[in-house]
Structure 1
Amino acid sequence: MDDDNVCLVCGVETKSIHCQVNSCRACSSFFSRGETASKLYRCRKGNKKCEIKPGDKLFCKYCRYQKCLSVGMVIKRKVIHNVSLSPQQRTISEVHYIEKSLVKENVMKLEIIGNKIVFDSDDLKNRIGNIFKNNYMNNKDNYGFYLTCLQEVILGIEFLRTKMITGSKDDIKINNRVPLTDHLNYRLSGMISIANFLMKIKDFTTISMAEKWILLKNFWFRAFTFLRTFFSIHVFGITNPKQIMLIDDCQATENHIHSVTEPSIDAENLKKITEISKPLSLFHDENILEPMRKLNLDQTEGAYFLIQLLFSKANISGLTKNTKDMCDKIIDISNNELHNYYVYTKNINNYCFRVTEITKLIFMVHEYDNREREVILLSKFFSVLDASLIEEI
């Protein structure tokens, strides 16, 4: 029997398409009833592995429903933590990891002595090296289907959310005097979280230790810039007239009017730090924050964004041919998945505008990274603040 002419849930012969996949009317109706009523089922045998096969009259409702989700049935969209997700993505998130916040485990002891940022860079490198030695978490659904790279990154964003935000909007303090060491510690802990996130991507775990470091160094700060903006927008909303950005996991600031505070730095140098960083903040507001607010990227688009930042190998030297080929393949597949997501899940046929705007944003994140490196260099040259240790990681 042709696989295109069978129900992907129960296996009976059918040429019908319901809920955006090949499925019989019985299975699609069952799924629709469950979704509409938000029903919760229990596995008949308790092992969540009941076989769904043609000819059976009484299916296990739990396993049948999970099979519907695993083959991609979609009738409407759900919202989790103010982020748009399809029911399929929601269930994958529930089946697999949404880890508890462990932000404090990642905190580095960072100090500013004189005008120099000081921390144990060897300890940081050892922590990340140990993370890279860990085994890949096998991301499969209940029926043994492996997740695609895009789906792994969608889950990874949920993981990073628990690392980068520890409370609700009401728990986050708005502070227009930015504690410099708090924000710098947030960056370093973000780097550790991003290293953990990368080990949840199967393709990343297959490359050598040296190549993992190459990709991390090229990726982490740009990813941090994107994620801090992405989470700030989803915490404070797209309609909030104030341009509020997270400083760390429990503090935020109005990005364009803030000043820097740090007990170990004198008032004159604090003023210079604020002045030298202000153009960078304005560039971020105009070219990253505001366009992202207008686009209101959902989690799938955010995952696509991160894949482009990570696996687009332009200007990355030191990768083997096999790794470069892997990167190209991941980019191609994620492009196809995004197309299917727009057409079949969001029902957007003319999505060129959104993809074009995402591409512009990726360029702006790269440009922001370059400009910050220039600010770090100028700050050191004029003896305002020496942040070269972060630059050297």
Structure 2
Amino acid sequence: MVPDKACLVCKKTSNGMHFGALTCRACAAFFRRATVLKLQYKCKQGNSQCNIDGRGRYVCRQCRLKKCKAIGMNEEKVQLDYDPTYSFRGLMEDSGSDECSTPTGSPAQSEYSPTNLSRKSSVESPGVDPNFLFTFSPKVPDKPNMVIDFSGLVKKIETCFSIKTMKDESELEAMTAALKSFRQGQKPQNELSVLEKVDVTSTVEWLNERIYKYSCWFASSKSLMSLPMDQKMQVFRSSWNVVRTFERLEQSVKIFEEDVMKFGSMVVTDDFAMQWDKTYVDLASITELTNQYFNKLFEPFMHRYIEEVARPLLDLKPTTEEVVFCMVHLIGLEDADLAPETQEACEQMRAEIADQMHTYYTNQTDIKMYSHRLLILMKLVKSMKRISREKSKIKELIWLFDIYHADISEPYFFEMF
């Protein structure tokens, strides 16, 4: 630390010279990330005059970057490979921003064969019929809706969120321990059964089990558990599925390795797996539309998960702490829909995890040149968020056109795909 010397960007305590100016680690890492990834931002207020002192540095990234340059931080001094003053907080605090990114591949441009998940370009792919989404069958007259009730699950989650834990652990330690506990029942590949058929009833049973496990993992965060119950539930409802998808992809890659790429082998629960060319998803009890209809809707996203997430995971082989790091940064996917105090809690959790990851790499691993790993983790998070947002548009149409003929108590929890 540099005593009595404030960061020239945010006025927090600095710890030395970074890229030509006196700053804190967080602002140095923020500037480094913006430079390396060539990020561009829009001012939150539109006048480029936001106050970014202290916690305000999280409010507007455009004004923060402008301030960095104004105090003399030099892009030419940024090392693209490794910086010993590296801090995860500033680098990851805005990892969810897609303001300057261009999505790679859309549902109308992506295709994969269930038995061959190799990459295909948009030129080779015939794409999806743009009118396809509006093809749906009306409900059969007098056929009663299936009732899907998650009220019991909600009560269990609220109970889990009400339990106070006083363990003297850092956020990273607590959430890593919770994930390890979460995975203790996971069977190895040779003990997993590959499902031939999945129906709605069995899926709801699994969802109840798996969602509750994710709620226990959420409950290990002191930052999130400091929120009122309604806000805890709000952030959990909006985040659990993207967190689940990432965690299951990483676990699948760990267990099946290349088979994830070849056959679409995916771990579903501790006991079961599925393959896109062998497993039949039967939705006949809640819709008149065919399984092929839903395959055509969601297979392009599966392809993107394989190419943009599973393949990099296979190369990286992340540690459990790195998996937690990504999962944490997927919480609060749509910050704009969250209450200000919820957004603040999510920011606090990400910031604490980021700083603790720096200590983890330094003290608990032999990975000294870890900046490249961070860049991969950041890209994984951004890919997950981008795919999830695009997939959510499809799911909104499903609800809009009443494609599921079922009375569902918690639509957020009924995530089949």
- Band of TM-score, shorter chain: 0.5 to 0.7
Pairing partner for 1:297 from 297, 307, 318: 318
Higher relative contact order, structure no. (Cα contacts within 8 Å, ≥ 6 residues apart): 2
Q: CA deviation at 1:367?
A: 2.4
* Residues in 2 aligned to 1:388 and 1:283: alpha-carbon distance in whole angstroms: 31
Q: CA deviation at 1:263?
A: 6.1
* Residues in 2 aligned to 1:267 and 1:277: alpha-carbon distance in whole angstroms: 17
Aligned positions of 1:307-326 closer than 5 A: 307-310=328-331, 314-320=335-341, 324-326=343-345
Give the corresponding residue for 2:94. Answer: none
Answering whether residue 361 of structure 2 is matched by residue 339 of structure 1, we say: no
Q: TM-score by structure 2 length?
A: 0.56
Give the corresponding residue for 2:152. Answer: 123
Alpha carbons 1:295, 1:354 under 8 Å: kept: yes
Provide structure 2 residue ranges, at least 5 long, that are not aligned to the other structure: 1-141
Q: TM-score by structure 1 length?
A: 0.59
Q: CA deviation at 1:219?
A: 1.9
**Partner amino acid for 1:148?**
S
Answering whether residue 331 of structure 2 is matched by residue 274 of structure 1, we say: no
Q: Which range moves more in the overlay, 263-272 or 187-196?
A: 263-272
* Residues in 1 aligned to 2:231 and 2:325: alpha-carbon distance in whole angstroms: 21
Aligned positions of 1:196-211 closer than 5 A: 196-211=216-231
**Partner amino acid for 2:360?**
Y
Q: CA deviation at 1:354?
A: 1.4
**Partner amino acid for 1:192?**
Y
* Residues in 2 aligned to 1:312 and 1:213: alpha-carbon distance in whole angstroms: 14
Provide structure 1 residue ranges, at least 5 long, that are not aligned to the other structure: 1-112, 140-145
Alpha carbons 2:200, 2:285 under 8 Å: kept: no
Alpha carbons 1:156, 1:200 under 8 Å: kept: yes
Give the corresponding residue for 1:157. Answer: 179
SS in 1 for 2:211: helix
Q: CA deviation at 1:317?
A: 2.3
Give the corresponding residue for 1:174. Answer: 194
Q: CA deviation at 1:156?
A: 1.0
Aligned positions of 1:96-107 closer than 5 A: none
* Residues in 2 aligned to 1:368 and 1:304: alpha-carbon distance in whole angstroms: 19
Give the corresponding residue for 1:370. Answer: 389
* Residues in 1 aligned to 2:213 and 2:164: alpha-carbon distance in whole angstroms: 16
What are the superposed Cα offsets for residues 337-374 of structure 1, whole Å, 9 maximum, x if unpaired?
22233334333333222111111111222223223322
What are the superposed Cα offsets for residues 171-207 of structure 1, whole Å, 9 maximum, x if unpaired?
2112354445434432332222112222223333222
Alpha carbons 1:244, 1:253 under 8 Å: kept: yes
SS in 1 for 2:164: coil
Cα distance change of structure 1 residues 355 and 281 upon mapping to structure 2, 3 Å threshold: same
Q: CA deviation at 1:272?
A: 1.6
Alpha carbons 1:288, 1:361 under 8 Å: kept: yes
Q: CA deviation at 1:116?
A: 6.0
* Residues in 2 aligned to 1:352 and 1:116: alpha-carbon distance in whole angstroms: 52
Give the corresponding residue for 2:250. Answer: 230
Cα distance change of structure 1 residues 205 and 307 upon mapping to structure 2, 3 Å threshold: same
Q: CA deviation at 1:208?
A: 1.2
What are the superposed Cα offsets for residues 208-239 of structure 1, whole Å, 9 maximum, x if unpaired?
11221122123211111111112222222357
* Residues in 1 aligned to 2:326 and 2:150: alpha-carbon distance in whole angstroms: 29
Alpha carbons 2:335, 2:343 under 8 Å: kept: no
Give the corresponding residue for 1:214. Answer: 234
What are the superposed Cα offsets for residues 130-179 of structure 1, whole Å, 9 maximum, x if unpaired?
2222232x32xxxxxx210000111111122146x3x3322211235444
Pairing partner for 2:273 from 234, 252, 257: 252
* Residues in 2 aligned to 1:222 and 1:266: alpha-carbon distance in whole angstroms: 24
Alpha carbons 1:260, 1:271 under 8 Å: kept: no
* Residues in 1 aligned to 2:331 and 2:407: alpha-carbon distance in whole angstroms: 23
SS in 2 for 1:315: helix
What are the superposed Cα offsets for residues 30-57 of structure 1, whole Å, 9 maximum, x if unpaired?
xxxxxxxxxxxxxxxxxxxxxxxxxxxx
Structural RMSD (CA): 3.2
Answering whether residue 370 of structure 2 is matched by residue 348 of structure 1, we say: no
Give the corresponding residue for 1:285. Answer: 306
Q: Aligned pairs, how many?
A: 270
Cα distance change of structure 1 residues 337 and 249 upon mapping to structure 2, 3 Å threshold: same
Cα distance change of structure 1 residues 128 and 329 upon mapping to structure 2, 3 Å threshold: closer
Alpha carbons 2:283, 2:291 under 8 Å: kept: yes
Cα distance change of structure 1 residues 117 and 225 upon mapping to structure 2, 3 Å threshold: farther
Answering whether residue 162 of structure 2 is matched by residue 133 of structure 1, we say: yes
* Residues in 1 aligned to 2:146 and 2:253: alpha-carbon distance in whole angstroms: 29
Give the corresponding residue for 1:361. Answer: 380
Alpha carbons 1:149, 1:201 under 8 Å: kept: yes
* Residues in 1 aligned to 2:287 and 2:404: alpha-carbon distance in whole angstroms: 11
The percent identity for this pair of structures is 16
Answering whether residue 215 of structure 2 is matched by residue 195 of structure 1, we say: yes
Alpha carbons 2:286, 2:405 under 8 Å: kept: no
